[in-house]
Amino acid sequence: MLSFLHGSDFHLSASFAHSSLREIAIKRRNDIWRSVESLFELAKMKEVDFIFLTGDLFNEEYFTLSEMKRLVDLFNLIPEINIIITPGNHDPYRQDSLWTVVKMPDHVFLFKNERIEKLEFPKADIYGIAFENQHFKKENLLDNLLLNEEKINILAIHGDVYDPDSPYLSIDRKELKKYPFDYIALGHIHKPAAADSRTMYPGSIEPLDFGEKGAHGVIYGEIEDGVLRTERISLSKSVFLEHVFTIDNSFNYYELEGELSEIKKNYSNKVYLRLILEGSLSKEYEIDMESLKEQLGGFFEYIEIIDNISQEYDVEKIYELNRSNLIGLFIDEIKMRKEDPASKIALQVGLEALIEHGEK
């Protein structure tokens, strides 16, 4: 039997410069390190034969020499396990890259070229390819390989099997199907996914933003007598969630608080919440969003509020106060029309213009 862990897309030293999370970037970078450390602890506990790390382990523009040394120190914690690395578009292998500055331990194997290569081990042949630059395209990617079907064959690669126009190594799934690989370890896509039963993305080990909701971690696999068994194992220290709450004039703060409290109970890890407020309120009803965010912040590691609430005039109340003037006549005119979305919009826009004019 051959056993393995498959991880990818750590993005150590991600800047979060263009993220809503940039003010807590240091905290997020530390969470990524904690998740990566958990991978190596899990590998030691399960005594796997291989760890496949399929690219974008770090962001080269921000990753430092001391951080590379820290990563190699992690490798050195498990000298008995073979570590296979396929550099990706954020951590390409070049002669001037950090991959070449720190000496890699003997049990760490890097693919270094933009052409398919093979590593031979007693239990398996491992094939892989590396990015040498940020963008990479290649036809006939596998170069008419001849696999030794007496052994286990695994392909490790960073690329995109979903977008045929991707500049980040588009991979033709039809080409992959020609080869009897026992497992195809992919990287690049941050959402955990499976192109088929043997072709898998573990996703980013730690979710980076609200585009990466749900559990994240690694894939554990076993191959025995030609049968592949896999299991996704969550390692992430954080989870990103979105929650929609509908508001009207009967809004009850404690109802919202109770609902969010119940959500938090379902997670033992840190929760980053995007609260989306929908519904409608009368113009007279105002919610201080900053105050609301501050009050709810104690429940979560981070919270942001998206205000999609529409504010409308209380037509019946305004009509009762303005039956005999221009505003009342305008409301009567609109009510005589067919009730549809256009009439509703016209009513609100017209009231706003009349009321503002009357206040001047």
Other Cβ atoms within 10 Å of 268 Cβ, number: 8
Same domain flag for 226 and 350: no
Same domain flag for 264 and 170: no
Count of residues in the chain: 360
Same domain flag for 84 and 33: yes
Locate all alpha helices (DSSP H) within 214-321, ordered by sequence. 253-265, 289-296, 315-321
Q: Are 242 and 230 in contact (CB under 8 A)?
A: no
Last residue within a domain, chosen from 234, 268, 288: 234
Same domain flag for 172 and 129: yes
pLDDT of residue 313: 65
pLDDT of residue 322: 77
Same domain flag for 211 and 323: no
Query: CB-based contacts of 240: which residues, under 8 Å, 6+ apart?
Result: 207, 209, 210, 212, 213, 214, 272, 273, 274
Q: Are 72 and 104 in contact (CB under 8 A)?
A: yes
The mean pLDDT values, 10 residues at a time, for the chain of 360 residues are: 98 82 83 97 98 97 95 97 97 94 96 96 96 88 89 97 93 93 98 96 95 94 97 96 92 92 91 94 82 90 92 72 77 75 74 64
| Token pair listed for 317 | 């109340």
Cα–Cα dist 197/194, whole Å: 7
Domain ranges, residue 329: 315-359
pTM of the full structure:
0.85
Cα–Cα dist 15/26, whole Å: 9
Measured between its terminal Cα atoms, the distance across the chain in Å is 83
Total domains, the chain: 3
pLDDT of residue 334: 74
pLDDT of residue 227: 97
Apex 124 CA angle, 176 and 87, nearest 5: 60
Same domain flag for 164 and 300: no
Same domain flag for 27 and 172: yes
pLDDT of residue 360: 42
Last residue within a domain, chosen from 234, 254, 284: 234
104 burial (CB, 10 Å; 0-12 / 13-18 / 19+) is middle
Same domain flag for 93 and 52: yes
Last residue within a domain, chosen from 206, 234, 262: 234
